Structure 1
């Protein structure tokens, strides 16, 4: 298992195995219109993770990364798709779908708890412990530390295995179709966030 670090784009010779690809992002904050995208993490579930860092002032050209993420035949796995899809749409100008969100799936089948963070899922469903110590670190710093790299890689390392476990529960609870409907809608939800409706439910009856 190796962590590969790249600046501004994936190298042209990086090859990912067929099938879903796990994706995560790190940014300067949680507002896509305000906070810049700093890092995109990727894994094909075979043991290696690739981190693509964007420096301050980047033009976010990244043609190889964009081609992979925008491929309509490639399922993307996320743990909070709403944010990741929104910030990549804002900065990379692509829609990184179709998608599967482990946090959304967890909310649909783990209704016995309100703990749906990645750390909680990995512990309960896979029996591993991951550290979230670097979650609030400075991702826009000139240098990314080894601890940050390991944290970023761990955010995509377990998504394939989590999907398999959550799919079993979605099937068991007869919520596969409901989950798919949520996944299909998430790109629109992300675009609403970018357009300014992050805190407003446009489907609500306000009187």
Structure 2
């Protein structure tokens, strides 16, 4: 069941609302699957009860395309599949853009059995490209490259109350994906200019391996 509206309320005045905003329970509907399947790339983020895979369940998945069509998918406790979302995220014709993809890719695999491919990670791209910068969090990357200041006040909150998520939480969730594609394009330009684009692509290809290591509690296997 979807709730479709112009935008979630609560956005800062200087931030325009999404072109379109929808909230789904359990999975995408056929219309939004078709809409997103036509995209060259999609921005994706997730919200979970915590950071430990297998203990902390996945609660929310957010997506946005280049036309600023944003949706949030609320996942019920114990839900183990979302067929339309799986079809979309495993579609190799659509690039999936995350910030710190390692966590999201592991969460989607652990909770919904989704093998995301292909992947672009703006955090890895930032570390390879923005070597002049000391911080590579989403807020810092978007602020510098896109000129938008993200509101992170709802970052640490109870995402498990899926049916009762506040407008503030949904606004926060939408904001985390709306600017990722613009940041991705600016980072690719930077990486191409600095001749690090091929290296970045090789790093992105390794993300599913690191995600599996994290799920199996071997996340520190490469540490000294």
TM-score (norm 1): 0.94
Moved more, 11-20 or 168-177: 11-20
Give yes or no for the alignment of 1:185 onto 2:203: no
Secondary structure of 1:155's aligned partner: helix
For residues 171 and 62 of structure 1, the distance between their equivalents in structure 2, rounded to whole angstroms, comes to: 36
Structure 1 residues 10-41: Cα deviation after superposition (integer angstroms, max 9, x where no partner)? 01221224211111100001111211000011
For residues 57 and 86 of structure 1, the distance between their equivalents in structure 2, rounded to whole angstroms, comes to: 17
Secondary structure of 2:120's aligned partner: strand
Alignment RMSD = 1.2
Structure 1 residues 83-110: Cα deviation after superposition (integer angstroms, max 9, x where no partner)? 0000100011111111000000000011
Q: 1:8 maps to which residue?
A: 26
Query: In the TM superposition, what is the alpha-carbon distance from 1:72 to its structure 2 partner?
Result: 2.0
Structure 1 unaligned runs (5+)?
none
Q: 1:104 maps to which residue?
A: 124
For residue 52 of structure 1, the aligned residue among 73, 86, 98 is 73
Give yes or no for the alignment of 1:85 onto 2:105: yes
CA contact (8 A) 2:81 2:111 kept: no
Q: List structure 1 segments (4+ residues) > 3 angstroms apart after TM superposition.
A: none
Secondary structure of 2:145's aligned partner: helix
For residue 147 of structure 1, the aligned residue among 159, 168, 172 is 168
